[in-house]
Structure 1
Amino acid sequence: MSSILAGLRSLLPTRADYRGLKAGWRGDLVAGLTVGIVALPLALAFGVSSGVGAEAGLITAIVAGLVAAVFGGSNVQVSGPTGAMVVVLAPIVVLHGVGAVAVVSLMAGLMVVLAGVFRLGRAVSYIPWPVIEGFTAGIGIIIFLQQVPAALGVENAGHSSNAVVAAWQTVTEASWPAALLPLAAVAAVAAIMLLLERFAPGFPSSFAAILVVSVVAVLMGSALPNIGELPSSLPAPTLPAFDAAMLSSLAGPAAAVAALAAIESLLSARVAATIADTGPVNADRELFGQGLASIASGLFGGMPATGAIARTAVNVRSGARTRMAAIVHALALLLVVLVAAPIVGAIPLAALAGVLMMTAARMVSWQTAKRVFGSGKSSAAVYFVTLLVTVSVDLVVAVGIGVAVAAFFALRALSKASIASREPLPGPAAPGDERIALFRVEGSLFFGAADRIVEAIADEPDVEVVVLRLSGLQIVDATGAHALAELITTLERRGATVLLKGVRLEHRTLLKRLGVDASLRDPKHSFAELEPAVAHARDHIARGRGA
């Protein structure tokens, strides 16, 4: 019981979370305000793009951002709505309605909390790098395609749940030349962002681009669709309406959202830890905090939240050293809601689409793709398959398939590195040595290599003694141990005596349980050193009978 309580306490906030605040509070304040400016247009855009609305995006950035900052396992993680989550939520809105999002947020949040409680935080380390990059690039493509309706000023176009098909449907249904006006707004946003990033890299380019385009649109009296009315305060927390049938139908989507929230948050926290020395990341606590953040967001009518890689990177590079920076970011966004809601409501949707298109374009990194493709054919295949499945099927499915493909190539490489080679006997030659086969077995004797290794040994004709050097085996699984026992039995039936040399201590229990020891003609036919094993084999040949 005491260990359980200690484990639960490790998931809760402590005074140590703010250990560096006294010395670095100025950096945290500046970083929090900076990332708040960066997060504002993204929160609005992700809310609109998901189909839930700009209000939900802001609520998520404020509520989830605050809760995750306090309870999460990273000192500098910034959480809120993200592009990957939008990709998952958009089909849920289409199939189940806007009201289902809050329920999904609660369900997914509970799942992520339980993942933290059951110490599943290290699972993300098993996701290979090409899978992560292919997944990220695929998300970028989907986000870009999802902005096509707003970029063309088309409402309710693109009826397919697939982003590629829906974007094409939108293009065919667009009204030309009326679509040129929102396209011009998108182009203006992109141009301003590129220019500022080129000549003023420290300036919040997305915020400035939206500000300029919005002011121009208002002064010109354009008919561009805008965000519309926003509340001037946060809504009161309420439990969304649901029933058993609704929970059943949303179980699958909620599990997908939970998996994505866990993966993206842990990846973001890991990336942040490589940018600057901001303290260790408690992966299990990060899951616990992100789960609580999604639950809180759902109660306020928001969306599921995750750690946001781009905003977290801005936070670290702006000088954040404690979680107070992420708290300031959430409070800054709350201040915007309280005092500037009417101004924010006038932002054109096309301007938000431009910001997201630029964000998506950066997620598809050609330099990263070049590095992946240059690292080998197997990595390139994993990257491409993950990207393709992400765009065409589903994000979580894509990660699963990507990991499976990566595992296949890893097992194939491991299998190729596992060999059984015949060696000459040590020492001066003796009469009858040609009837003794000495094999060195190296690498891994597992299900992917066992048959090939066994066949290489069993195919040796006209031998009376087979000596197997097993000290070079690194891995032995149940399939390999079973195959070894069957090989020994087969050779013994043919009249060949089998001797084992160098069975490693960590393999002995498994080999014994799978019948390897029992398949030997004599328990003494297992040796620790090579010389006694070869001497026994030569003596067996000299005597011309079974030992």
Structure 2
Amino acid sequence: MRSLRGLLPTTGDYDLRPRTLRADLAAGLTVGVVALPLALAFGASAGVGPAAGLVTAVVAGIVAAVFGGSNVQVSGPTGAMAVVLAPIVAVHGAGAVALVAVLAGVLVLVAGLARLGRVVTVLPWPVVEGFTLGIACIIALQQVPAVLAVRIEPGGNTLVTALDAVGRAVAATDLTPTLWALGTVALVAAGTLLLPRLHAAIPASLVAVAVATLVAELTDAPVARIGALPDALPLPSIPAIDPGLLRELAGAALAVAALAAIESLLSARVATSMNRTAHHPDRELVGQGLASVASGLFGGMPATGAIARTAVNVRSGARTRLAAVVHALVILAVLYLATGPASAIPLAALAGVLLVTSVRMIPAATIRAVLGAGRGAALTFTVTAVVTVALDLVQAIQVGIGVAAFLALRHVARSTDVHREPLPGPAEQGDEHIALFRLEGALFFGAAERVFGTITERSVDDGVLVVILRLSRIGMLDATGARALGELIGDLEASGLTVLVKGVQGEHRTMLRRVGAIDALRHPSHLIDDLGDAVVHARSHVRRSAVAEVTEPGGTGRAHG
């Protein structure tokens, strides 16, 4: 129960002192104005309609703010989620999204209760940035049909669909709708980019969309509009559950849950770096899981933490989660009071907002930093971005992590090395018959064969009688490395050499015993802790070998004590 209480809301989540209260109200109002066109746009982009985007922003925004693990996180529909949902809508229809939201929310909630919140820290930076770039490209490509005023059935590959839209627009005999749509997009994009230069407090995207809508209304422009929107929140209901559909949507729900968890935790981490306050990853997953479940019950989309809106919230002076609640209430007020004007918004205007959003998702400086971080980082970044666009987001993360892991293992394997060292202290007669090898790094499947091959080459046919293996600097030893070490000892002993193993760490000794490597030694005393003792032992073997050669001329010259 004590552990569970750490995942629940507390009175300490809020600060109602007048100064803090004013800051939260102002920040919430600012974020609400910024989020309104994005909520409409992401709902339309996902294929579930602008109304679903509004519902998600309101319901999930409030639930995630109250139950989440960050004081300044803002949640709702996002571009990445819209990218994942679009194929689901194309195959199963918009009605399946509510069920996916509930299923995915339950999975994220369970992940939070299972304390998996810190798993995002294992994601390599190039994978995250490549993933983000791929999403940005997909969001931009998804807008091409709306930008060109071409209607295309959703569900195909985003790049192919965009190229098809371009082909249809070029072949069209009447270019009037296309020119109007392009003009609307240009107006919104220019306003969104240029208005903040006049004054930072101007809600640029909202003003740009409002101006584009006014122009379209006054000129009776031939552009597609959002259409009718609900003037109230729908009543909550449990989505229809069909066993067959449930099985078909299981994979989609898992992908949505993974995306919701990753994006929310990344957003919370960004917020923490911006305002220097802590966040609770496990509680964040609990809050996001509950938010998606609630959104699904109201007919909305799965929700995640939104990095862009969270950044606006922090920069606007938000202190507590009350700001995120206010942001949702602002959108709720629009839903009840202004759905009439909102229904006249051109779809091309929302496309303009999303195009600007996609450009801003990953700054050019970040791309240069990743590409300049080395060939490995550049390869991981590029592969992740390409797979995100060509296949899907979950596979992109899997492939990106696989590439990063392979490169990391290759680097670790290359850093594992073996050096032949001179014996410590004054030289003695016979020392040339003793080979002292120092192994350092990670002795695992990726490096064992190369390292042990080097030892064999430098030991056999070099007049060596005794080999000392220094293992005290081995940082990691896996079963493959331990087994290969046993085989090396056995091969050297079989060739007539005596092998002494020095400085085996406690946990490594257990592994060596389990795979039988210790048993390959000729005598238990050949496992030694001190280098000085190992050298004394080796010299005694060499002296006995010399005596054996004098007294037994036909002997092998190898020590067997």
Q: TM-score band (shorter)?
A: over 0.9
Rounded to whole Å, the distance in 1 between the matches of 2:476 and 2:74 is 41
Provide Cα deviations, 1:128-170, integer angstroms capped at 9, x if missing partner: 0000111001100000010111111122x16662111000111
Q: How does 1:16-31 map to 2 (within 5 A)?
A: 16-19=12-15, 23-31=19-27
Residue of structure 2 in register with 1:71 after alignment: 67
Residue of structure 2 equivalent to 1:320:
318
* Map of 1:472 onto structure 2: 473
3-state SS of paired residue (2:39): helix
**What SS does structure 2 have at the residue aligned with 1:474?**
strand
The question of whether the paired residues in 2 share the 8 Å contact of 1:60 and 1:302 is answered with: yes
Q: Which amino acid aligns with 1:255?
A: L
Structural mapping, 1:71-110, within 5 Å: 71-110=67-106
Which secondary structure state, in structure 1, belongs to the residue aligned with residue 287 of structure 2? Answer: helix
Structure 1 residue runs of 4+, over 4 Å off? 19-23
Given that residues 443 and 478 in structure 2 are in contact (C-alpha distance below 8 angstroms), is that contact kept between their aligned partners in structure 1?
A: yes
**2:141 is aligned with 1:145:** yes
Moved more, 72-81 or 420-429: 420-429
Q: Which runs of 5+ in 1 are unaligned?
A: none
Preserved contact between residue 90 and residue 155 of structure 2 (Cα < 8 Å): no
Distance 1:400 1:46 in 2: 25
Match of 1:200 in 2: 199
CA contact (8 A) 1:159 1:169 kept: no
Kindly name which structure, 1 or 2, has the bigger radius of gyration based on alpha carbons: 2
Distance 1:193 1:296 in 2: 32
TM-score of the superposition, structure 1-length normalised?
A: 0.97
Q: Is the 8 A contact 1:83 1:139 kept in 2?
A: yes
- Correspondences of 1:166-181 after superposition (within 5 Å): 166-174=161-169, 175=172, 176-178=174-176, 179-181=178-180
Structure-2 separation of matches of 1:235 and 1:421: 72
Q: Secondary structure at the match of 1:499?
A: strand
- Render the CA deviation track for 1:261-288: whole Å, top value 9, x for unaligned: 01100000001100112x3111111111
Task: In structure 1, give the amino acid aligned to 2:197.
Answer: R
Instruction: Report the count of equivalent residues.
Output: 541
- Once the two structures are superposed, what CA deviation does each residue of 1:53-102 show, in whole Å capped at 9, x if it has no partner? 00000000000010000111111110000000010000000011111100
**Counterpart in 1 of 2:503?**
502
- Please, which of 417, 421, 424 is the counterpart of residue 423 of structure 1? 421
Which residue does the alignment assign to 1:448? 446
Matched residue of 2:72: which SS?
A: coil
Following superposition, the deviation at residue 20 of structure 1 comes to: 7.1
CA contact (8 A) 1:70 1:323 kept: yes
What secondary structure is seen at the aligned counterpart in 2 of 1:503? coil
Q: Once structures 1 and 2 are overlaid, which stretch shifts more, 537-546 or 301-310?
A: 537-546
> 1-side partners of 2:362 and 2:305: how far apart?
19
> How much does 1:223 deviate?
2.4
Alignment of 1:284-363 (within 5 A): 284-363=282-361
How far the C-alpha of 1:434 sits from its partner, in A, is 2.0
Residue 42 of structure 2 corresponds to 46
Map of 1:394 onto structure 2: 392
Report the alpha carbon displacement of residue 294 of structure 1 after superposing the two structures with TM.
0.4
**Partner deviation per Cα, 1:184-234 (whole Å, 9 max, x = no partner):** 000011111121133323321111110111111111122221111111110
1:8 paired residue number: 4
So what's the TM-score if we normalise by structure 2? 0.94
- Whole-angstrom CA distance in 1 between matches of 2:378 and 2:248: 37
Residues 20, 322 of structure 1: 8 Å contact kept: no
Structure 2 counterpart of 1:276, which letter?
Answer: N
Tell me what 1:546 maps to.
560
CA contact (8 A) 1:484 1:516 kept: yes
Determine the structure 2 residue equivalent to 1:412: 410
- Aligned to 1:164, the other structure's residue is in SS state helix
Deviation readout 1:293-328 (Å, 9 max, x if unpaired) = 000000000000000000000001100111111011
Distance in structure 2 (CA, Å) of the matches to 1:21 and 1:434: 80
* Distance in 1 separating the partners of 2:433 and 2:347: 83
- Matches of 1:364 and 1:284, distance apart in 2: 27
Question: Which residue identity does 2:306 align to in structure 1?
Answer: A
Counterpart of 2:272 in structure 1 is: 273
Whichever residue aligns with residue 262 of structure 2, its letter is I
Alignment check: 8 A CA contact 1:102 1:303 kept: yes
> For structure 2, which runs of at least 5 residues remain unmatched after alignment?
546-558
Inter-partner Cα distance in structure 2 for 1:482 and 1:115: 37
In the TM superposition, what is the alpha-carbon distance from 1:364 to its structure 2 partner?
Answer: 4.1
Q: CA deviation at 1:21?
A: 5.7
Tell me the residue number matched to 1:117: 113
Displacement after TM superposition at 1:496 (Å): 1.2
Which residue matches 2:487? 486
Looking at structure 2, the residues matched to 121 and 75 of structure 1 have their Cα atoms a distance apart, in angstroms, of 16
| Kept after mapping to 2: 8 A contact 1:62/1:334 | yes
In 1, the alpha carbon distance for the partners of 2:17 and 2:75 equals 20
Give the alignment's Cα RMSD to 1 decimal: 1.3
Q: Which moved more, 1:23-32 or 1:137-146?
A: 23-32
Provide the secondary structure at the position in 2 that maps to 1:448: coil
Q: Please say if residues 66 and 326 of structure 1, whose CA atoms lie closer than 8 Å, have aligned partners that are also in contact.
A: yes
Alignment partners' CA distance in 2, 1:107 and 1:34: 32
Contact 1:21–1:324 (CA<8 Å) still a contact in 2? no
Aligned-residue sequence identity (percent) comes to 58
